[in-house]
Amino acid sequence: MKTENQGEAQGNRPRIGITHGDFNGIGYEVMLKALADNRMLELMSPVIYGQSKVASFYKKHLNLNDIHLNLVKDAGQAHPKRINIVNCTENDLKIEMGQSTPLAGEAAFEALEMAMSDFKQGRIDLVVTAPINKQNIQSESFSFPGHTEYLSAQFDQKEPLMLMVWNELRVGTLTGHIPLKEVPEKLTESLILKKIQLLNRSLIEDFAIVKPKIAVLGLNPHAGDGGLLGLEEQTTITPALEKLRQEGILVFGPFPADGFFGSGTWKKYDGVMGMYHDQALAPFKSIAFDGGVNFTAGLPLVRTSPAHGTAYEIAGRNVASPDSFREALYLAIDVFRNRVTYAENTANPLPPDDNNFS
């Protein structure tokens, strides 16, 4: 769906679509604070999908009046060296800071829809999403547990990979937003193979790691303790890892999850695969809450998001840190550039070494 000219219009500055998420949360605060540094415009051409009236309210409320927004009809009219904003709705949006409202959910979905349409038409190159409320956004048009599943459906990717990133820490989840009681039945050899293959490919293409090393966590306490505390490690996980090794993937484990992060073992690997959501995200957020980024791997679209949620409890108080959102912007740009470089190198492989006579 990506057009051939995506990424070319602004040279080395990709066009980033930024969806405003739930406007009653901290989305506008972290967006505006992250974009307040004019040096950001040297790296990208931002297009906010939201509403100019809401943005103006938060600028005034948070005393961020030095930020200038360029209102455009659509992303095709965006100025490459300004912070552009597109009105996704003409409806009056009643701002109720710190509250979950149906109107906020509807506006969050409209921003997503417009950003996806513009990406498919080649008007933007990648997307950074501000946090949504997973309850108030639900409708006949949006019946997904979150951004990851919605975006995957947009590109017919049935098994998305949510990858949490902070510096050299990259943690994926084998299963996503499902109840914990459903995890064991979802844990199949086929799923393990598919998700780890996807993680391996993402580490190569998106993070420019030539031969990544991947650690896999066990499902049960102490990774089953030889079958005493569960058999999934022996019957499902280990056989899948053996097949992956036969493919040439450097995969290790399964490791007991309880001590893996606290001992610093994660630093020895380029990526980590957890079995379920909280097993991966609880330790990740304890290590990298302020700067963590959520990246959806395996899509033609580069999409990132801050690792935090709407944070209603601090909405409008001018205390929200923009660090995670800023890192989401940086990571999106890095992944986009890595993909371009990988595609160029793949299309034009290096010539053989003339000095190699073997």
Question: What's the pLDDT at 346?
Answer: 85
pTM summary value: 0.90
Q: What is the pLDDT of residues 230-268, one digit of tens each?
A: 788 899 999 999 999 999 999 999 999 988 998 999 999
Same domain? 212 vs 232: yes
User: Is the same domain home to 240 and 187?
Assistant: yes
Residue 312 in domain: yes
How far is residue 155's CA from residue 131's CA, in Å, rounded to a whole number? 21
What range defines the domain where residue 222 resides? 158-298
Residue 252 sits in a domain of what CATH number? 3.40.718.10
Q: What is the chain's Cα-based Rg? A: 21
254 and 165 in a single domain? The answer is: yes
Average pLDDT, the chain: 90
Judge contact between 164 and 65, C-beta under 8 A: no
Residues 83 and 164 occupy one common structural domain: no
What pLDDT, in 10s, does the model give residues 299-325? 999 999 999 999 999 999 999 999 999
Region 126-137 average pLDDT: 95
84/48 same-domain check: yes
Q: What confidence tens digit (pLDDT) does each residue in 8-66 have?
A: 445 578 999 999 999 999 999 999 999 999 899 999 999 999 999 999 999 999 999 88
Q: What are the DSSP calls for 117-181, one per residue?
A: HHHHTTS-SEEEE----TTTT-SSS--SSSHHHHHHHHTT-SS-EEEEEETTEEEEESS-SS-GG
- In the chain, the number of structural domains is 2
**340 domain residue, yes or no:** no
What SS3 class is residue 254?
strand
